[in-house]
Amino acid sequence: AQSVTQLGSHVSVSEGALVLLRCNYSSSVPPYLFWYVQYPNQGLQLLLKYTSAATLVKGINGFEAEFKKSETSFHLTKPSAHMSDAAEYFCAVSAVSGGFKTIFGAGTRLFVKA
Amino acid sequence: SQTIHQWPATLVQPVGSPLSLECTVEGTSNPNLYWYRQAAGRGLQLLFYSVGIGQISSEVPQNLSASRPQDRQFILSSKKLLLSDSGFYLCAWSGSSGANVLTFGAGSRLTVL
């Protein structure tokens, strides 16, 4: 079984500051890991995914995440926040073994201050 | 390219009334289809998924049901809505192989009064 824990339901940063959104996962089999972003009243969009290739994954809009098996973590970072990054971010896990279910974390809302 | 359509976008229904939300996918064949519900501050809860016509797996016992009458059509229904059914419902699809990347519809906001 898989599970995801996102630390911090709300994160606030200043424009231009580092963005760090934390995600820890639990999986009994090798995982696929994802970050999705949701803007208000919209569906989710894929930011990036880890599929057992490179442990540092680059995504859209300057975001990246690093898979750390020893820490069971997949934290999302961006060197310099932009106002347009304000949204809700979801970490998710599914199983490499072919399961069809993707399990989502509770989400972290990112606020960007001018 | 593939697109996913979900409707209606918003819905206000009285308690005890029926529900039908529809989702269709274009540009792909034999997709895996999903219904998620998003409640405020609680992330996404998987309700149903389907790997083929007529094949529905339910994740959470409740008064909702799902059907897949055609390959690229997924319907979420209820015979009698409860107040607790209020939420933001998201349909999604993924390919039948690979990393299970989900592509989401724009969502349907249901308010039960």
As given in the structure block, the two tokens for residue A56 are 């540092």
Query: Which residues of A fall within a CB distance of 8 Å from B102?
Result: 34, 36, 44, 46, 92, 102
Which of A87, A71, A80, A84 lies closest to A22, judged by CA?
A71
- Nearest C-alpha neighbor of B93 from the set B43, B37, B49: B49
Cis peptide before B8 (omega within 30 of 0): yes
Q: How confident is the model at residue A10 (pLDDT cuts 50, 70, 90)?
A: very high
Q: A40 CB near a chain B CB, below 8 Å?
A: no
- What is the number of other CB atoms lying within 10 angstroms of the CB of residue B14? 8
Q: Which of A71-85, B5-19, B25-39, B67-81 has the lowest mean pLDDT?
A: B25-39
- Decide if A59 touches B, using CB distance below 8 A: no
Picking from B7, B44, B51 by the largest number of A CB atoms within 10 A of its own CB, the best residue to mutate is B44
Tell me which chain A residue has its CA closest to the CA of residue B95. A100
Q: Which residue of B41, B51, B106 is in closest CB contact with A42?
A: B106
Cα distances (Å, whole numbers) of residue A79 to A19, A58, A60, A63: 6, 12, 13, 8
Q: Which tokens is A64 given?
A: 């990246």
Q: Which residues of chain A lie closer than 8 angstroms to B49, CB-CB? A: 100-101
Give yes or no for residue B28 having a pLDDT over 80. Answer: yes
B105 CA to chain A: closest CA distance, Å?
6
From the list A42, A90, A107, the residue facing B107 with the nearest CB is A42
Does the pLDDT at position B68 exceed 80? yes
Position A17 scores a pLDDT of 98
φ/ψ (deg, to 5) at A38: -130, 120
Percent of chain A with pLDDT over 70: 96
Strand extents, DSSP E, A15-106: 19-27, 31-38, 44-50, 56-58, 64-68, 73-78, 87-95, 103-104
Distance from CA of A38 to the nearest CA of B (A): 10
- Which residue from A86, A90, A87, A81 is spatially nearest to A22, judged by alpha carbons? A90
Q: Is B26 on the interface with A (CB under 8 A)?
A: no
Contacts of B41 in chain A (CB under 8 A): 9, 106-107
- Which chain A residues contact residue B101 at CB under 8 A? 34, 46, 49
What type of residue sits at position A75? H
pLDDT band at A99 (very low <50, low <70, confident <90, very high): low
Question: Band of the pLDDT at B65, cuts 50, 70, 90?
Answer: very high
> Is the pLDDT confidence value at A97 over 70?
no
pLDDT digit string, tens, across residues A16-70: 999 999 999 998 888 899 999 999 888 899 999 998 778 999 999 999 999 999 9
Name the phi and psi angles at B37, rounded to 5.
Answer: -120, 135
Mean pLDDT, chain B, as a whole number? 92
Q: Which one-letter amino acid corresponds to residue B51? A: V
Half-sphere exposure of A58 (CA within 13 A, CB side): 3
A57 has a chain B CB within 8 A of its CB:
no
**Token pair 């998924």: residue:** B49
What amino acid occupies position A26? S
Q: What are the distances in angstroms from CA A81 to CA A59, A106, A109, A111?
A: 15, 22, 14, 10
**Alpha carbon of B109 to those of A40, A95, B33, B43: distances in Å?**
12, 29, 19, 15
Query: What's the pLDDT score for residue A98?
Result: 53
Name the percent of chain B lying above pLDDT 70: 98
The answer to whether the beta carbons of residues A77 and A65 sit under 8 Å apart is yes
